[in-house]
Amino acid sequence: MNLIVIICLIALIESRKLTTEENEKRLEVCGLTGKPKVFNGRPTKSSEAPWSVMVMTKKGDEEGGFCTGTILSPRHILSATHCAATGDENEWTHTDVKFPSPKEKCGEHNNLIVTEVAASRVHVRTRNLTELGRAKFLHMFQFCRVVNKGEYEVQYADDIMIIELADDIEYSENVQPACTASALLRDK
Q: How far apart are CA 23 and CA 182, in angstroms?
A: 12
pLDDT band at 100 (very low <50, low <70, confident <90, very high): low
In tens, the pLDDT along 5-42 reads 555 555 555 667 778 887 777 777 776 555 544 445 66
pTM of the model: 0.72
Cite the beta strand spans of the chain per DSSP E.
Answer: 52-59, 62-73, 76-79, 85-87, 92-95, 112-114, 122-125, 131-140, 161-165
138 has pLDDT over 90: no
Please state, in angstroms and as integers, the Cα–Cα distance from residue 13 to each residue in 10, 17, 91, 132, 176, following that order. 5, 10, 29, 24, 27
Compute the mean pLDDT over every residue in the chain, rounded to the nearest whole number.
74
In tens, the pLDDT along 158-172 reads 688 899 999 999 998
Domains of the chain: 2-14+52-148+155-179 (2.40.10.10)
